[in-house]
Amino acid sequence: MQGYIIRRIIGAVFVVFLVGTFSFFAIRVLPGDFATASLGLDAGSASAENIAQRKADLGLDLPIGEQYANWLWDTVRLDLGTSFLTQNSVWYEIGRSLPYSIELGVLIMIVGFTVAIPVGLISAIFQDKALDYSLRGLAILALAAPVFWTAAIASLVVLQWDLFLIDVIGQPHLWEDPGRAITWYLIPMFAGGFAGTATTMRLLRSQMLEVLRQDYVRTARSKGLTESAVIIRHALRNALLPVLTVMGVTIATIIGSQVILENMFNIPGIGNKVLTSLFARDNPVFQSVVLIIAVFTVLTNLVVDIMYGVIDPRIRLS
Amino acid sequence: MSQIADPTVVPLRDPTILERMRSATVSLGRFLRGKPLGGSGLVVCVIFILVALLAPVIQRHDPDQIFEGPNPDYKANPTVIELARNPDIGSPVVVEQFIEPSGGHWFGTDKFGRDIWSQVIHGARLSLIVGLGASVIAVVGGLIIGMISAYYAGIVDLLIQRLVDMLQAIPFLVLVLVFTQITERSVLNVVLWLGVAGLAITTRLIRSAVLQVRESEFVLAARVVGASDLRIMIRHVLPNCVAVLIIAFSIGIGAYILAEASISFLGAGPQGIPSWGQMVQAGRGSLDLHPWQTVFAGSAIMLIVLGFNLLGDALRDVLDPRLRGA
């Protein structure tokens, strides 16, 4: 078991290193750089010397190998550098935006799972009944609808019937001003939850159908357990395991939709930082946020796999 | 050719084109009856393909044409104050923006007075090119890489698998956004990069399929009779992976269409061609009063993705029941 965990950790660290390397080179391969772009704003002043000077200030004039070695050494020491755009340290930028993203991400997951688990369960219990078909139809729709469109239609509904005011300027946290924060998060959290967990619902349904056919479920029934005990204690617990294994994918999907939702609702989170730093060629911020997202997904996968190995000994052997 | 006719052997002949068509029709009919959802998905896909092909015929207007009409408030020589209240007052014609859906404009007009119906019709072209093109690239690339990875186990496999892990640790949308920024954002480049971003998933799918086939008895038998690696791969492994290839191809299409719509929505999509994602974004500026552009373009995205997803699900169930629910 220990050997398995150690192997997995080494693999995870290597993947994070690859992602960091990828984002380092990706942002430099893109046409344009921050020095030229920032000088281009004040028209005419961007002479060749100015650009060269600016590049030297930002460390963009060094040979790419040296830049990479510097980046690697700094990152290993957890020094993420300074944002080109805001001149703040990258850690400060992340510290400010991460809470928003975690807040929204957790809300999306809560919405998603409180919908997906009962719906998947009901769908499996009423297999091939009208209820099953309509719930599955809903899941298929949820998979097909683009998250930005669901959010736009939800905003339209809110605007048309004047349900509540969507405050996209105050940017309060839930713990600061829950009343205003919730109106801000309400649409993105439902749109994200709707889109992010359709897969979970379908997977849970098919797993439940599988599990309900197993011998131990028949045993549980013949022992005279109530139907709810059979379904929740014996069937659901086993059916949820495979749902857990795709947690890493689910989280990556949710982060992907957060990039769009944070942009739409002016939420200053990590997803928004990905976009602004990418378009502004703010290298230090871009590298760091991509790295943090990768650490997050890789860590989720690692924890899930190790937990799975603990629960199910068959996995360790393969 | 052998001169001696063996009466016990019924000569095999290639089926004629007519027979082939008949057998294809029969299996299509069986598919439609057995999988009504998949069948309706197929119908939706076919409709969209027809719409895209016939766009210039059924468009009713040029998608870029700006409609102008007489200005009801027109005044020949407005005073400065009147002009300040209504800047358009001095011109006899104004852009017919935000017309409600009507006989003249089935889906209404957008902010710039362009016909939304024509734009949605032409948007189908981009979505289909992107979805089908990117999926072909991802499957062909994934086939080559997945086969190499599965066949030459060891260090090559390990390295490819870690690279796949790397690509999957980054959200697909971010990956696509980065890739498409590298080159000029033409339709072709966007298709190419979407396919490259999708390589991780197809490589993984195809690799595991090849690994399974590789362990089977007939591959061992082929090796025993001395077939070369390349021959085993092409003659024995590849035909047995066709089902997985079709599945990987069909279930990817919807995802690529959604990804293109998303980057277009964020203003980073292909340029110079009507795009549904970009239309949803454009309509958001006046969502509360004139929602039609957003509503119609978004519905089109949902419908086309729905069609391809339903078709892909049904194909997967038919071709490989083990993957059901995956």
Nearest chain A residue to B182 by CA distance is A30
Cβ within 8 Å, pair B162-A11: yes
Indicate yes or no: CB of B288 within 8 angstroms of CB of A149. no
Cβ separation A144–B324 shorter than 8 A: no
Find the mean pLDDT for residues B224-234: 86
What is the residue-wise DSSP string for chain A? -HHHHHHHHHHHHHHHHHHHHHHHHHHHHSS--HHHHHHHTSTT---HHHHHHHHHHHT-SS-HHHHHHHHHHHHHTT---B-TTT-SBHHHHHHHHHHHHHHHHHHHHHHHHHHHHHHHHHHHHTTTSHHHHHHHHHHHHHHHS-HHHHHHHHHHHHHHTT------SS---TTT-HHHHHHHHHHHHHHHHHHHTHHHHHHHHHHHHHHHTSHHHHHHHHTT--HHHIIIIIIIHHHHHHHHHTHHHHHHHHHHHHHHHHHHTT--SHHHHHHHHHHHT-HHHHHHHHHHHHHHHHHHHHHHHHHHHHH-HHHHH-
Given B171, B261, B310, which is nearest A255 (Cβ)?
B171
DSSP 3-state percent helix, strand, coil across chain B (nearest 5): 70, 0, 30
Mutate to test the interface with B, among A136, A140, A148 (most CBs of B within 10 A): A148
- Grouping H, G, I as helix, E, B as strand and the rest as coil, residue B126 is helix
SS3 of residue B94 by DSSP:
strand
| Interface contact flag, B172 A203, Cβ < 8 Å | no
- Residue B55 is predicted with a pLDDT of 80
> Distance from CA of residue A165 to its chain's centroid?
27
Closest listed residue to residue A290, CA positions, set B119, B47, B177, B237: B177
Taking the Cβ of residue A121 and every Cβ of chain B, the question of whether any pair is shorter than 8 Å is answered with no
Give the end-to-end CA distance of chain A in Å, rounded to a whole number. 12
**CB within 8 Å: A159 and B288:** yes
Residue A202 at interface with chain B, using a CB cutoff of 8 Å? yes
Count CB pairs under 8 A between chains A and B: 134
Instruction: Provide the residue type at B244 as one letter.
Output: V
DSSP type of residue B109: B
Dihedrals phi, psi of B226, to nearest 5 degrees? 95, 25
Mutation target for A interface from B170, B295, B296: give the one with most A CBs within 10 A.
Answer: B170
- Per-residue burial over A202-241, b = 16 or more CB atoms within 10 Å of its CB, e = otherwise: bbbbbbbbbbbeeeebeebeeeeeeeeebbeebbbebbbe
Contacts of A31 (CB under 8 A, 6+ apart): B181, B182
Contact of A278 with chain B, judged by CB distance below 8 Å, is answered with yes
- Nearest alpha carbon to residue B260 among B128, B168, B120, B169: B128
Q: Determine contact, residues B309/B41, Cβ cutoff 8 Å.
A: yes
**DSSP H/E element including B81:** helix B80-85
Residue with the bigger pLDDT between B61 and B2: it is B61
| pLDDT tens per residue across all 318 residues of chain A | 788 888 889 989 999 999 999 999 988 888 878 877 777 655 556 677 777 777 777 777 788 888 888 888 988 888 888 888 888 888 999 999 999 999 999 999 999 888 888 888 888 888 888 888 888 888 888 888 999 999 999 988 888 887 777 777 777 888 887 878 888 888 999 999 988 778 888 888 888 888 888 888 888 888 888 888 888 888 888 888 888 777 877 888 888 899 999 999 889 999 999 999 998 888 899 999 999 999 988 998 888 888 877 776 665 554
Is residue A185 within 8 Å of residue A171, measured between CB atoms?
A: no
Which residues does chain A have within 8 Å of residue B305's beta carbon, measured at their own beta carbons?
A: 143-146
Question: How far does A29 lie from chain B, in Å, by closest CA?
Answer: 7
Strand partners, B115: B109
Q: What is the pLDDT of residue B2?
A: 46
* DSSP, residue by residue, A34-69: HHHHHHHTSTT---HHHHHHHHHHHT-SS-HHHHHH
DSSP codes, B136-204: HHHHHHHHHHHHHHHHSTTHHHHHHHHHHHHHHHS-HHHHHHHHHHHS---HHHHHHHHHHHHHHHHHH
From residue B84, alpha-carbon distances to A183, B81, B88, B95, B111 in Å are 37, 5, 9, 18, 21
CB-count burial class (<10 Å; 0-12, 13-18, 19+) for A167: middle
Could B302 and A141 be called an inter-chain contact, meaning their C-beta atoms sit closer than 8 Å?
yes
Name residue, tokens 């935000």.
Answer: B98
A226 CA to chain B: closest CA distance, Å? 28
Interface check for A298 against chain B (CB to CB < 8 A): the answer is yes
Q: Which amino acid is at B245?
A: L
Helix (H, G, I), strand (E, B) or coil at B301: helix
Q: Is residue A260 classed exposed, middle or buried when 0-12, 13-18 and 19+ CB atoms within 10 A define those classes?
A: buried
**Gap from B289 CA to chain A (nearest CA, Å):** 9
Nearest to B170 among A141, A202, A293 (CB): A293
pLDDT in tens, B59-111: 777 777 777 777 777 777 777 887 787 777 777 777 777 777 777 777 777 77
Tens digit of pLDDT for each residue in B296-323? 999 999 999 999 998 988 888 888 755 5
Instruction: Provide, as residue numbers in chain A, all residues whose Cβ is less than 8 Å from the Cβ of B309.
Output: 140, 143-144
> Which residue has 């688990």 as its token pair?
A117
Per-residue model confidence (pLDDT) at position B20 = 74
**Segment A196-237, tens digit of pLDDT:** 778 888 888 888 888 888 888 888 888 888 888 888 888 888
What's the first-to-final CA gap in chain B, in angstroms?
Answer: 50
Q: Which of A19, A140, A278 sits opposite B169 (nearest CB)?
A: A19
Q: Which helix (H) or strand (E) holds B30?
A: helix B17-34
User: Is A290 near chain B, with CB under 8 Å?
Assistant: yes
Residues of B in contact with A23 (CB under 8 A): 170, 178
ipTM of the complex: 0.87
The whole-angstrom separation of Cα A148 and Cα B281 is: 9
**H/E element, B93:** strand B93-95
